[in-house]
Amino acid sequence: MPLEVYNTLGRAKVPFEPLTAGQVRMYACGPTVYDDGHIGHARAAVVFDMVRRWLAFKGLGVTYVRNYTDVDDKIINRANELGVDYQEVAEKYTRQYEDDVGRLLLLEPDVKPKVSEHIPDIIAMVKTLVDKGAAYEAAGSVYFAVDKFAGYGKLSGRTREDMENVARVDHDPYKENELDFALWKAAKPGEPSWESPWGPGRPGWHIECSVMSSKYLGKTFDIHGGGRDLIFPHHENEIAQSEAANGTLMAKYWLHNGHVTKDGVKISKSLGNFIPLKDLYKSYDPEAIKFFLFGCHYSSPLDFTDPGLRQAERNLERFYEALDLVDALAGDDQPAMAGVPLADELAGLEAKVTAAMDDDFNTAKALAALFDFLHALNQHLAGKKSAKKPGSRALLKKAAAELRRLGGVLGLFSQDPAAYLGALTAMRVRLKGLDPSAIAARIEERKVARAAKDFARADQVRAELAAQGVILEDTPQGTKWRVEM
């Protein structure tokens, strides 16, 4: 079936048809860089990386733009609190965000524009809106006149009263209408400013994305993405000012990822209920965090829990364990255990993953298909429901390659299995305060006991290690161990 996406603009699942055959232009709202990133920021980055990967997998050329908001009230307020220049704050947290998302093994956007680098473009669009009568100047600021745009509210579907109630939270006495919003803010003491036709000032929040998206993707592009919390007012305002300025549709499809919650409450910096990603990485593997985020549909809310994240980490570990075993068998002279059932599962895997991903990027169903295949692969690796057959090792290698290829549409399974498992074990050893040399000594003790047929002692050593979270597995290549949290 063709790819279908849930389009917030229209609030319906619809077939995805690029504006230009074979090409997709996509913009996603990036972070406001004034503090450490958290798992909510990670979800947005991971989701739109996944969308980009799937579109490319389907043979489409993708131009992906994700911005940085580096001029904003929050940045200025943080700089004032610290007694430093706003640029110092913005640059610090831009670097931190780059480090954080880099560890999630994401593809680099084609363009990563910053607000501070597009001030002349912003002034030009604001001037266009004033010249068209869609905006007005008051006391050195410029406001968009919502009543001049007939389609205001078409994205969010909110009532006029509801939108006004939200707007009143940020009351401005210079606005002619409560729903009007600032395109250009008059300079205040201690704030960065640039010269403009209306005097010194700086951009409003919403105008930046309209300018940067149109500059790099054109006046009308295929996909605009972001978190669900941006639907109103940010994306609603983007549509109004873009379409008023350019006289054409801004974006054909609007995709929004759901919130990450903790105990049912949205994780946010303002609520203080978040763990910085850089701290989360001290206790959890970054790829496992990505795996956790794919555990439900991208548009659904996702509750962050330690048990849930730890289970995702263990599930990802199982994939790497299977891939590691296949790699080990590739250098083994003995025939691998595999059979026709694995070949049948292999033949149908891509169709299952495709059906899931073409259904509005349903990563949870795609993972379920990969899990089913992993189960079949593990059965054959264990010699269940199969017999030794010529060429079985080639089949296993092909199965592992397919697992990597289809996992790659989610940005998973790209690491060397042995290196991944070793790093994961090292992290868990550190977290549990274990001594690897002591574990090795106990494994050797068990080996000696088994050689002497003292199986009671061997079982006791296994049980004592298990009590510490150290799980032993006897393989043809020797006894391996891992740590459970």
Residues 335-351 have pLDDT tens digits of: 544 445 788 899 999 99
pLDDT for 49: 98
Structural domain count, the chain: 3
Per-residue 3-state assignment (H helix, E strand, C coil) for 29-71? CCCECCCCCCHHHHHHHHHHHHHHHHHHHCCCEEEEEECEECC
CATH number at 113 reads 3.40.50.620
How large is the average pLDDT for residues 3-28? 98
Measured from the Cβ of residue 124, the count of other Cβ atoms closer than 10 Å reads 12
Say if residue 316 is in the same domain as residue 243: no
Distance CA 51, CA 66 (A): 13
Same domain, 119 and 266: yes
Residues 202 and 346 in one domain: no
How confident is the model at residue 264, as a pLDDT? 79
Residue 339 in domain: yes
- The string of pLDDT tens digits covering residues 47-68 is 999 999 999 999 999 999 999 9
Q: Answer whether residue 247 is part of any domain.
A: yes
Within 13 A of 118's CA, how many CA atoms are on the CB side? 26
Distances, alpha carbon 216 to alpha carbons 39, 163, 235, 445, in Å: 28, 30, 18, 64
pLDDT of 391 reads: 47
Q: How sure is the predictor about 408, in pLDDT bands with cuts at 50, 70 and 90?
A: very high
Give the total residue count for the chain: 485
Q: What is the mean pLDDT of residues 102-126?
A: 98
pLDDT for 384: 45
**260 and 390 fall within a common domain:** no
User: Would residue 287 count as lying in a domain?
Assistant: no
Alpha carbons within 13 A on the beta-carbon side of 305: 9
Given a cut of 50, whether residue 390 has pLDDT beyond it is no
CATH number for 335: 1.20.120.640
For residue 385, pLDDT over 60 is answered with: no
CB 56 within 8 A of CB 62: yes
CB burial class (10 A; 0-12, 13-18, 19+) of residue 226? buried
Residue 289 counted as domain residue: no
In a domain, 300, yes or no: no
On whether both 61 and 100 belong to a single domain, the answer is yes
> Looking at the structure, do residues 168 and 260 belong to the same domain, yes or no?
yes
442 and 405 assigned to the same domain:
no
- CA 291, 296, 299, 300 torsion-angle sign: negative
Say whether both 438 and 411 belong to one domain: no
384 and 440 share one domain:
no
- Structural domain harbouring 475: 434-483
pLDDT, position 360: 98
Residue 156, SS3 per DSSP = coil
Strands 470-475 and 265-266: unpaired
User: If pLDDT is split at 50, 70 and 90, which confidence band does 293 have?
Assistant: very high
Band of pLDDT at residue 332, cut at 50, 70 and 90: low
Q: Are residues 409 and 456 in the same domain?
A: no
User: Average pLDDT of the chain?
Assistant: 93
Position 299 in a domain = no
First to last CA, the chain: 41
Q: What phi, psi does 140 have (nearest 5°)?
A: 85, -5
> Average pLDDT of 94-123?
97
Q: Which residues in 249-267 are b (16+ Cβ under 10 Å) and which e?
A: ebbbbbbbbbbbbbeeebb
CA distance 97 to 31: 8
Question: pTM here?
Answer: 0.94
Check residue 459 and give left, alpha or beta (phi > 0: left; psi -120 to 50: alpha): alpha
CA dist 149 → 167, 180, 240, 243, 244 (Å): 17, 11, 6, 9, 7
Q: Report if residue 292 sits inside a domain.
A: no
For residue 168, the model assigns a pLDDT of: 67
Does residue 388 register a pLDDT over 80? no
Instruction: Output the pLDDT for position 340.
Output: 53
- Do 259 and 360 lie in one domain? The reply is no
Torsion of CA 173, 176, 182, 185, to 10 degrees: -50
pLDDT digits (tens, 9 = 90+) for 128-186: 999 999 999 999 999 999 999 999 999 999 988 888 877 766 778 899 998 999 999 99
Tell me the pLDDT band of 190, cut-offs 50, 70 and 90: confident
pLDDT higher at 477 or 395: 395
- Under the banding of pLDDT at 50, 70 and 90, the label for residue 263 is confident
Do 401 and 451 fall into the same domain?
no
| pLDDT tens track for 64-82 | 999 999 999 999 999 999 9
Is 296 a member of any domain?
no
Q: What is the pLDDT of residue 268?
A: 77
Give mean pLDDT, residues 98-113: 97
Query: Is the per-residue pLDDT at 2 higher than 70?
Result: yes
Given this model, what pLDDT does residue 433 score? 96
